[in-house]
């Protein structure tokens, strides 16, 4: 049987904190990122700031995912399923081909199919025939799904998407730094078209709701 403690501490400090984060209670006694960096340097490897940044990204990703998962749990959906639900909610027709969903979310078709199946079981989405292609099927959000999408979106916004510890300025700086990293990895076409839609950037749905009262 594989024993975690047989792995060198430099590797353990990188992997275990994120993998077991949901199972432990309370903060760790020592910062695993600092410990891992110390071990790398102690064994002659030039870890430095980039190692600390890399490990911190992995750690922070786990923290944000767990926080968002906790926020979405009362609605009965995982974060991955919620992404599909919101994509349909934001689409003009409220329906998209499964292939298009996978393309926009950059996930495997099997993962899209499983997510749609889960949402169908909850009554949030339904599968319908494509009006122009008999071979294709559409995922269409239901009235119940729209209601859940609206309420869960407000919940995530109020919790600042798991980044309550950061100010608006800090969040902007973090986004710009990560944007540079993503661009260098060709994560998207920088010369591609900009997002467009019915809702302008910076729109607050609560303002429209208040105005209707």
Q: How far is CA 5 from CA 1, 9, 14, 33, 63, in A?
A: 12, 8, 13, 17, 24
The confidence score (pLDDT) of residue 193 equals 52
How many C-beta neighbours within 10 Å does residue 2 have? 5
CATH of domain 76-182: 1.10.10.10
Q: Answer for the pair 98, 133: CB distance below 8 angstroms, yes or no.
A: no
The confidence score (pLDDT) of residue 172 equals 97
Tokens of 196: 């467009």
Sequence-distant (6+) residues with CB within 8 A of 9 are 35, 39
Statement: the pTM of the whole predicted model exceeds 0.75: no
The confidence score (pLDDT) of residue 106 equals 87
The confidence score (pLDDT) of residue 14 equals 46
The confidence score (pLDDT) of residue 137 equals 83
Q: Answer for the pair 55, 40: CB distance below 8 angstroms, yes or no.
A: no
Q: Answer for the pair 127, 137: CB distance below 8 angstroms, yes or no.
A: yes
Counting as low any pLDDT under 70, the low residues of the chain are 1-25, 191-213
Which regions of the chain carry the CATH code 1.10.10.10?
76-182
């Amino acid at each position: 049987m594989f024993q975690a403690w047989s792995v060198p501490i430099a590797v353990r400090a990188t992997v275990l904190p994120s993998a077991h984060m949901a199972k432990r209670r309370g903060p760790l006694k020592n910062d695993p990122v600092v410990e891992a960096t110390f071990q790398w340097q102690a064994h002659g490897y030039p870890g430095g700031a980039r190692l600390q940044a890399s490990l911190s990204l992995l750690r922070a990703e786990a923290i944000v995912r767990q926080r968002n998962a906790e926020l979405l749990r009362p609605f009965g959906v995982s974060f991955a399923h919620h992404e599909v639900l919101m994509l349909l909610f934001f689409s003009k027709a409220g329906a998209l081909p499964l292939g298009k969903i996978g393309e926009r979310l950059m996930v495997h078709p099997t993962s899209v199919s499983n997510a749609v199946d889960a949402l169908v079981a909850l009554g949030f989405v339904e599968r319908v025939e494509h009006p122009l292609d008999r071979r294709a099927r559409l995922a269409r959000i239901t009235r119940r799904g729209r209601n859940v999408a609206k309420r869960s979106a407000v919940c995530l916004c109020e919790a600042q998407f798991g980044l309550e510890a950061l100010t608006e300025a800090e969040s902007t700086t973090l986004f710009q730094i990560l944007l540079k990293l993503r661009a260098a990895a060709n994560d998207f076409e920088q010369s591609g078209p900009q997002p467009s839609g019915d809702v302008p950037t910076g729109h607050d749905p609560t303002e429209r709701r208040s105005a209707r009262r």
